């Protein structure tokens, strides 16, 4: 295998083992044996098991960011509807990658959480805030809202959505029922609509997240 192919195979194999056995219960030797490379070859690409975990998380986040960027830049959808569209698209993306998502979430809830959370948040903020600001600029030009400070609002929206992401993870871990989850997520939906001075119901945030948690109809 070429260098990139070997590195990718190590990442893919490790992700499968982390998903099946758990991060803490998977040893570097198990990964090496499953891939079929030497220990020297493994350490050529990764210094530690946590390095692989960071690569898995970074790749997952990067794929989600690319999808978000393409959705928010889609000229066939305009203004606030782009935000609704991205909630649906990301829900589908996360549903299709449940195993990888589970690996990343378990890492965030374990010993690696602080370092990993900072890494992911830094990546997301740098890419998403400018995109959200451009969508808000477009919506302002269309007369969909009256907020002029779109960059500051994009920063605030990012913070609130980050907290919502943590809430959804908490609901999944606690095994919350649909009614409880709907009540708590819809609070965020109403709060974000209020922040943007939009009529309640303008954003379908709850629907996308409830489908991710429970499947089927929200």
| Spatial contact of 142 and 79, defined as CB atoms under 8 Å apart | yes
Map tokens 């192919």 to a residue: 5
CATH number, domain at 120? 1.10.357
Q: Domain check: are 160 and 184 in the same one?
A: yes
pLDDT 10s digits, 179-192: 999 999 999 999 99
Q: What is the CA radius of gyration of the chain?
A: 19
Tell me which residue range forms the domain holding 38.
3-45
Mean pLDDT of 199-215: 89
pLDDT value for 109? 63
Q: Domain check: are 65 and 164 in the same one?
A: yes
Q: Domain check: are 34 and 96 in the same one?
A: no
Lowest mean pLDDT among 7-16, 99-108, 116-125, 140-149: 99-108
CATH number, domain at 14? 1.10.10.60
Token pair recorded at residue 211: 């489908």
Confidence class for position 54, pLDDT limits 50, 70, 90: confident
pLDDT 10s digits, 12-40: 899 889 888 888 889 999 999 999 999 99
pLDDT value for 97? 80
Concatenate the DSSP letters of all residues of 65-108 into one string: HHHHHHHHT-TTS-THHHHHHHHHHHHHHHHHTHHHHHHHHHHH
Long-range Cβ contact pairs of 146-150 (< 8 A, separation 24 or more): 146/197, 147/196, 147/197
pLDDT 10s digits, 148-172: 999 999 999 999 998 998 899 899 8
Q: Domain check: are 146 and 124 in the same one?
A: yes
Q: What is the number of structural domains in the chain? A: 2
Q: Domain check: are 88 and 171 in the same one?
A: yes
Burial class (CB in 10 A: 0-12, 13-18, 19+), 209: buried
Q: How far apart are CA 101 and CA 148, in angstroms?
A: 36
DSSP H helices in the chain = 3-21, 28-35, 39-45, 49-72, 80-96, 98-108, 113-141, 150-174, 178-195, 205-214
**Cβ neighbours for 161, distance < 8 A, ≥ 6 positions apart:** 192
Confidence class for position 111, pLDDT limits 50, 70, 90: low
Q: What is the mean pLDDT of the chain?
A: 87
């Amino acid at each position: 295998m070429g260098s990139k192919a070997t590195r990718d195979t190590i990442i893919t194999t490790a992700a499968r083992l982390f998903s099946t056995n758990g991060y803490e219960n998977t040893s570097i030797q198990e990964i090496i044996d499953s891939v079929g490379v030497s220990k020297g070859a493994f350490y050529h690409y990764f210094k530690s098991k946590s390095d692989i975990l960071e690569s898995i998380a970074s790749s997952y986040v990067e794929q989600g960011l690319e999808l978000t960027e393409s959705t928010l830049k889609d000229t066939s959808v305009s203004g606030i509807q782009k935000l609704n569209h991205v909630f649906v698209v990301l829900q589908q993306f996360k549903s299709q990658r449940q195993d990888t998502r589970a690996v990343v979430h378990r890492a965030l809830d374990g010993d690696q959480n602080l370092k990993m959370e900072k890494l992911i948040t830094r990546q997301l903020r740098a890419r998403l805030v400018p995109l959200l600001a451009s969508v808000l600029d477009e919506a302002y030009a269309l007369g969909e809202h009256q907020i002029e400070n779109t960059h500051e609002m994009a920063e605030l929206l990012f913070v609130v959505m980050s907290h919502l992401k943590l809430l959804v993870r908490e609901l999944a871990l606690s095994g919350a029922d649909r009614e409880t989850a709907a009540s708590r997520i819809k609070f965020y939906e109403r709060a974000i609509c209020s922040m943007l001075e939009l009529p309640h119901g303008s954003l379908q945030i709850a629907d996308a997240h409830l489908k991710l948690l429970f499947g089927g109809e929200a």
